[in-house]
Amino acid sequence: MMNRAIEVEAISKKYELGRQKSGSLGETLRHTFKRDKIKDDTEFWALKDISFQVNEGEAVGIIGRNGAGKSTLLKILSRITYPTSGNIKLFGRVSSLLEVGTGFHPELSGRENIYLNGTILGMRRSEVKAKFEEIVEFSGVSKFIDTPIKHYSSGMKVRLAFAVAAHLEPEILIIDEVLAVGDFDFQKKCLGKMQQVAGEGRTVLFVSHNMEAVQKLTSSCVYLVEGRLNCMSDTKSVIGRYLQRSESGLNSTYYNRVGSSDIYMKEIKVARGFAGVEHSWGNELTVEFDIVINRETKGACLSFQIVNAENVNVGYYWLYASDYDFGAREGEIKIKCVIPEAKLFEGKYWITTWLSDRSGLRLIENLDRICSFDFHINNIVHDEYPWAPSDATYLDKANWVFEGSSPITIKMPRLRQ
């Protein structure tokens, strides 16, 4: 039988909106005697009757849209705030990283804050000292370890805070979306460390909007909707349920109800990207077309371009009549274009579509810069190089060959998945 690490029993958290408290005894008494007169619309339930259990050694994701109550739940589990009702039981020492700089004193150096955090977690100075070098090496801030934290960038604070939280050997590690502040190399490093922590029999709770990261790290998921528990099950099925519920917000769609041409686009959709959420380098990109044919038009041609923020066409795809004469019969037809490995650079893109005859001399319909979508490259690593959206429009792997009478040794940037 598995030992419990966390038990959450009917947790609810209520906030009262629009009220300010002075903290004085008189103000407290006035609020106490007026409590029955408070209107319902001043009450906001961030969480309502949440119950679930987590076993030792489990890595559990907590997902949901913004405002679903994820961060409130983590703050209650971290004992930063208390529930309005319900109970929690935590079996073991808890270490959490919820916000940049949480638990750090700005006037103290990085070194002093490491020891301070260890003390807060209940560790002896000798235990912290034994882990100190490992923490500093992982964080990558050794050069600034004796500099006051107030002079650190947000990224440096995150690196040190995560290193402290993960290396001081808590039985329960709680991580919020704060890791998004770090660069991709460090995020990848953090995910590897959390997998190691879980593999050592400790428990991890992980909140993120990055479904790829959630899928890689966790075996089960808690799905919150408007402060209530929608479901808790294996990660794959919970993410599928989350994406199905959020589908309208994840697809980029153009819709036209009143097209009057011989042929016109009724709907165009840039379908959900990798892991159902984001479009990223090297993964499949799908564009779907719903076309209405009001009058038989033989030899029709469909093409579309992918256009970047500078209005440069960076991709061109077409379907000629010789391939498939889709306009030869009246009615409605759905066509899908699947790009197996889209290699666009980081940035925002649009779709421009063309319906014409095969010669291109007769234009039937042109839709310019519709279905905007964002493209990311955070599933690959480029050594020692920070990604910048303005650097390029297309990115691909390449082999470099040098010829000459004498050998050439050179370190070239490389891409790896």
The model's pLDDT over 38-80, given as tens digits with 9 standing for 90+, comes to 455 567 888 999 999 999 889 999 998 777 888 899 889 988 8
* Residues 221 and 63 sit within 8 Å (Cβ to Cβ): yes
Q: What is the mean pLDDT of the chain?
A: 78
Q: What is the mean pLDDT of residues 362-377?
A: 82
pLDDT, greater one: 239 or 178: 239
* Residues 214 and 62 sit within 8 Å (Cβ to Cβ): no
Among the residue ranges 8-12, 99-103, 134-138, 304-308, the one predicted with the least confidence is: 99-103
pLDDT surpasses 60 at 414? no
Instruction: For residues 340 and 328, give the distance between their C-alpha atoms in angstroms, rounded to a whole number.
Output: 28
Please state which CATH number belongs to domain 4-247.
3.40.50.300
Most confident of 182-191, 250-259, 265-274: 265-274
Q: What pLDDT sits at residue 410?
A: 45
Q: What pLDDT sits at residue 275?
A: 52
The pLDDT confidence band at residue 405, using thresholds 50, 70 and 90, is: low
Q: What pLDDT sits at residue 233?
A: 92
Q: 326-351, pLDDT tens digit by residue?
A: 877 888 889 999 998 888 887 888 89
Kindly report the number of other CB atoms within 10 A of residue 265's CB atom.
23
pLDDT surpasses 60 at 180? no
Q: 263-299, pLDDT tens digit by residue?
A: 888 889 888 665 555 677 888 889 999 998 888 878 8
pLDDT, greater one: 250 or 281: 281
Q: 124-166, pLDDT tens digit by residue?
A: 888 888 989 988 988 888 999 999 988 988 778 878 888 887 7
Locate the domains of the chain by residue range: 4-247, 250-376
Q: 76-87, pLDDT tens digit by residue?
A: 998 888 899 999
Answer CATH for 250-376 from 2.70.50.60, 3.30.460.10, 1.10.600.10, 3.40.50.2000:
2.70.50.60
The pLDDT confidence band at residue 412, using thresholds 50, 70 and 90, is: very low
Same fold, 4-247 and 250-376: no
